Structure 1
Amino acid sequence: MPQAKRVSMAMVAARAGVSGQTVSRVANGSPKVDPDTRLRVEQAMADLGYRPNRAARALRTGRTHTLGLVAQTLATVGNSRMLQAVAESAASRGYALTVVTLGADGDISEAFDRLRDQGVDGAIVLNEATALARDAAAAELRLVVVDSPPDERFTVIGTDHAAGARTATEHLLSAGHRTVHHLAGPVDSFAASERERGWRDALAAAGASAPEVARGDWTSASGGREAHRMLETGEVTAIFAANDQMALGALRAVAESGRHVPGDVAVVGFDDIADAAEFQPPLTTVRQDFDALGEQAVHSLVSRIEGGADAAPDLLSPALVLRASA
């Protein structure tokens, strides 16, 4: 059986009505292409079944068109959604993705070594792993770090977690609660610390006392356990949980205590995971846009790889989603 003829850049150029150089720029993910032209070339590639020769392109450009992603774990919903968003955004630019997870005791320096050995052009570091990003100076990698304090060694992007937490807390206070209890995330999480800061700021601005923080590990089990401890005091009327999984645990704890949500205890989460609207009752929560965050991370990293602007973009603004739990 004769072998199918390989689709060339010239064939794509003819199909799209552009030059071969324009097809090359699109194939190499260059930002110097008009968006409409890029779409036309990408459609021609799809129609013809064009597949770039990565090995040849790496020899020609000195780049592998592969990005790395470093995460402590992919077991959390936030990290798994970020992985999906990053993978889709990278693929749309013609980049492959290599993922390294650290585990509880992982060494980020070893992760960077592995990524360098695989020839990635740069890497994105997620969430809890950013606490280890101080080792990035020796990484010799272009890096974009998601949810981290500003650092001149790499580009930082993220969601304005403090603003989202303030909005959630203010909503609960405006409903007449004298204060709001907080189910916080892990102590080494930048996102968790920012959400706690926003909660504290809202209470202070309202002249409300800040109850002792209960700290979970992002899981619903930890949220349920800590919410049970809160509820034993009998003084809890509102809970702001640092993510939706812990809020789910809190909903169960309230039900098991013989109380009702939101009549006896109001509950607000953070993230707006896909199932948040299916909780009982449907969860009021703060939505962060994981798709936009993944797109922003890849855009910033590819821009660094291709010599573009290196300025950190503004934090993404989360939004309060009102449902029946508060």
Structure 2
Amino acid sequence: MKMNYMVALAAAALLFSSCVSSKKFKKSQADYALLQTRYQTLEGSLADCNNQKAGLIQDKNELNKKIADLNREIELIKQNYTATLQQLENLSVISKQQAESIKQSLQNIGAKDAYIQTLQQQMAYKDSLNMALVMNLKGAIGNIEDEDINIKVDKGVVYIDISDKLLFKSGSYTITDRAKEVLGKVALVLKNQPDIEFMVEGHTDDVPYKGNGVLVDNWDLSVKRATTVVRLLQKEYGLDPAKMAAAGRSEYKPIAGNDTKEGKATNRRTRIVILPQLDQFFKLLEPQK
């Protein structure tokens, strides 16, 4: 009898140990799956950043090529002016006033050369700011699927494309609760950059709008969606309304074909365009005092 009791006790202990091990194993499996998902997300973000970096490098290389061409042109003009001035002085057929005019032209060329150098520095600085802004936005948004939100730099302008399935129901301009989460993360980054100005653009596919009420067509729908986003950013997240603009693009700025279901879904989007600060470049054109 005692022997049977001890055997039963040992079996119970073994069974309990097995259950505990099984729970630990299942938890380890779940933790591993979570880490694997996070790894894939980070790997995708790294690929996006590398693509953005390649685009900026290409833009910079094109700018450097243009600057190099201008520098060669300036050097050729300098040589021609110098040679002409020397010939005229040797022949004693140039007046003092003419000589001064030629010298002034050479000085203007030097100023142009300095202007090009300044412009090159400003472009490099702007590229750095844009890349930092993109990285901050990607870091803030992070957990949103790639097909639902896309952040990119194109020709020195930062674009944030947000799929309408995150923001609005079909044919509606009433914002969803999920949209507030997404736009709140974007607003947090933009609010930390008070000098930034941006435009919110509404885009639709080519399916005619069939709703009732104040909206007539896709033009109206795209505009109302843009103003809804701008109003939310102002009233709920405190962004300066003087730094924002709203616009509707209707169906006329597609980024994919409207002949497939996927293409239509891509075109239904809200785009935030970080406007370039042109006043900084206009200042470069002002005469130096």
Query: Is TM-score (shorter-chain normalized) higher than 0.5?
Result: no
Q: Indicate the structure with greater helix content.
A: 2
Given the two structures, how large is their TM-score scaled by the length of structure 1?
A: 0.25
Name the larger-Rg structure.
Answer: 2
